[in-house]
Copies of this chain bind each other. A is one copy, B any other.
Amino acid sequence: MNDTSELPGFAFIDDTFVPIKEARIPILDWGFLRSDATYDVVHVWQGSFFRLNEHLDRFFASMSSLRLDCGYSKPEVASILGQCVMRAGLDDSYVEMTCTRGHSPTFSRDPRDAKNRFIAFSLPFSWIIAPGDREEGLNIAISNIRRIPPEAIDPAVKNYHWLDLVMGLYNAYDRNAQNVILTDGQGNVTEGPGFNIFVISNGVASTPETGMLEGVTRQTAIELLEEINVPTTFKPVPVEEVKSADEVFVTSTAGGIMAVTTIDGKLVGNGRMGTITRILTDLYWNAHDREEWCDRVEDVITS
């Protein structure tokens, strides 16, 4: 069916390392049948994990919120992730860790009867926008589909509830855009599939403060903006403010800082990557040699 035989990558599932093409979960796992799971994604760049501790902290906090227990400590999870990357032979990698509810041996409907399952896998680094197109920037649409609200599902707990985002993507494709941002049902933007949004107007950055995942790359952007004396305001960001901004960018582990140059068919500013976005993008990639944010893959692997 789906041919992943050419895709480099390694997985860890049911206490065993396997090539990614062989990694499968039981169809009865509630991580699939109820999307009852949490996950996190960290990247490896030139042989080093970037901000691994922040991702591990969030993953463990998410599991705690959902009353999940992956059965491994943070150093053990780090070591498993490192081995997935090492076995795949990847210098730059997209590394995912997941804890699912598992399932009950009797298929009872009670989640307390389930034995939780831990899965990890490495793949080649994933880009929301290809590096060659980064200069051109993203063409996004803003969808009327509402992002699942925090009163239903806590967006701070990273989860696989993406149907709203996927349907938003199809909306965007129908309008000749490459990607999508969903709103909160009250005229403010929230997030896109796997990324946060920032707008810059008059030298000040703004980003939503609720209704979205608090991304680690979002946090990195906030810290790097501070270093270049661009303050960030956390507040509801109306769609109109996004459309009239001087610069717009999105942040994701899958690609870092990415300029948005077209929104709903209209150019952002002059339609080119903005000055602050450009400085920030360079800072972001340069920050991949900062010791405090980096852990060499071989160093997190314990025997």
A residues lining the B interface (CB < 8 Å) = 1-4, 6-7, 11, 13-15, 20-21, 23-36, 39, 66-67, 96, 98, 101-107, 109-112, 114-115, 117, 119, 121, 123-124, 126, 128, 145-149, 151-153, 159-167, 169-170, 173, 185, 193-194, 254
Contact = CB atoms under 8 A, between A and B. Distances in A.
Contacts of A25: 24-25, 27, 32
The list of the 9 closest CB pairs from A to B, nearest first, reads A24-B24, A34-B162, A35-B35, A146-B151, A148-B152, A146-B152, A152-B164, A23-B27, A35-B160
A153 B145 CA distance: 8
A36 B165 CA distance: 10
Given A34-B166, A159-B163, A107 B126 contact: yes
A167 B11 CA distance: 28
A32 B31 contact: yes
A1 B12 CA distance: 14
20 contacts: A1-B14, A2-B28, A2-B102, A4-B28, A20-B27, A21-B26, A24-B24, A33-B160, A34-B160, A34-B162, A34-B165, A67-B170, A107-B124, A107-B126, A145-B152, A148-B148, A149-B152, A153-B161, A153-B163, A159-B163
A237 to B, nearest CB: 19
Given A35-B163, A151-B145, A27 B1 contact: no
A96 to B, nearest CB: 8
Most buried by B among A102, A104, A159, A162: A162
Nearest to A119: B27
A185 B107 contact: no
